[in-house]
Amino acid sequence: MDILTLKNVSKIYGELKALDNINMRVEKGEWLAIMGPSGSGKTTMMNIIGCMDKPSVGEVILNGTDVSRLSSRDLTEIRRDEIGLVFQQFHLINYLTALENVMMSQYYHSMPDEEEAMEALAAVGLSERARHLPSQLSGGEQQRVCIARALINHPALLLADEPTGNLDEKNEYMVMDIFEKLHHAGSTIIVVTHDPEVGDEAERMIVLEHGRIAREEKKQRQRPVTDTGVLSEDKLSAFA
């Protein structure tokens, strides 16, 4: 079953077609990578899929609902209940600590739970930094807070825009491991990346160029599910 269908989706800014007649289907539980040069429309596409923005033309069907026709209030609800977003720019709330940022996301979804929020931060290696403000965190640390925040409500659909862009190799593996386990637990994952190694983790890759799908590749996944101990099965229950 498809969790997502884009039908003839375009996003037009004046003369520029940031997305130019995109048709795409994503199956429930699939892990998809979106790649392509800077300016090719990746973030624009993620914003539309993530109900942050509407297409100029076309339909976006998420779980059977055409979200391109919904009010912004309904979109907020869908975003809150179904989707986990990891932004290219982190959008953390700057006067809240790492822990509070994660708990804020719980609050909007259901109920804040400090213990669970701490577990999510521990899973991304940030136990020691939980009480710091974003301005006191490095770029990679902020990115990991953003990931913990996206995962805390067990989203059916995880959208991640360059989730490892600011991370060193160790933290990149940590994040890929978390994605691997979420995938295993049934989440659908769409990840935008410039990093071929991150792209290789996906089951399918779509390459955008000038707002169009230039090519598409099904992949044999390389890496078996590993257990680095970072996210143990009991910690995973905090996510999936």
Ligand X SMILES: Nc1ncnc2c1ncn2[C@@H]1O[C@H](COP(=O)(O)OP(=O)(O)OP(=O)(O)O)[C@@H](O)[C@H]1O
Which is nearer to ligand X, 44 or 142 (by Cβ)? 44
Q: Are 68 and 58 in contact (CB under 8 A)?
A: yes
Residue 165 is classified by DSSP as T
Q: Are 16 and 9 in contact (CB under 8 A)?
A: no
Residue 171 partner contact from Mg ion, ligand X, none using kind-dependent CB cut-offs of 5 to 8 Å: none
Q: How many CB atoms lie within 10 A of CB 109?
A: 14
Query: Quick one: residue 111, left, alpha or beta (phi over 0 = left, psi -120 to 50 = alpha)?
Result: beta
Which is nearer to ligand X, 38 or 220 (by Cβ)? 38
Instruction: Give dist(CA 70, CA 66) in Å, integer.
Output: 7
- 188, β-bridge pairs: 157
What the block records as the tokens of 98 is: 């790492």
Burial class for 192, CB neighbours closer than 10 Å (0-12, 13-18, 19+): buried
Residue 13 partner contact from ligand X, Mg ion, none using kind-dependent CB cut-offs of 5 to 8 Å: ligand X
In angstroms, the first-to-last Cα distance of the chain is: 20
Choices 13-21, 23-31, 67-75, 195-203; region in contact with ligand X by CB under 6 A:
13-21
Q: Which of 43, 47, 101, 153 binds Mg ion (CB under 5 A)?
A: 43
Choices 33-41, 121-129, 197-205, 222-230; region in contact with ligand X by CB under 6 A:
33-41
Asked if residue 166 binds Mg ion (CB under 5 A), the reply is no
Asked if residue 43 binds ligand X (CB under 6 A), the reply is yes
Tokens 């994503």, residue located: 26
Asked if residue 71 binds ligand X (CB under 6 A), the reply is no
Choices 31-39, 101-109, 122-130, 133-141; region in contact with ligand X by CB under 6 A:
31-39
Alpha-carbon torsion angle 102, 103, 109, 111, nearest 10: 150
Residue 153 partner contact from Mg ion, ligand X, none using kind-dependent CB cut-offs of 5 to 8 Å: none
CB of 109 to Mg ion, least distance (A): 26
H-helix or E-strand spanning residue 24? strand 16-27
User: What is the contact mask toward Mg ion in residues 59 to 98, using x (rule: CB under 5 A)?
Assistant: -----------------------------x----------
Asked if residue 40 binds Mg ion (CB under 5 A), the reply is no
Binding site for ligand X (CB under 6 A): 13, 16, 18, 36, 38-44, 88
Binding site for Mg ion (CB under 5 A): 42-43, 88
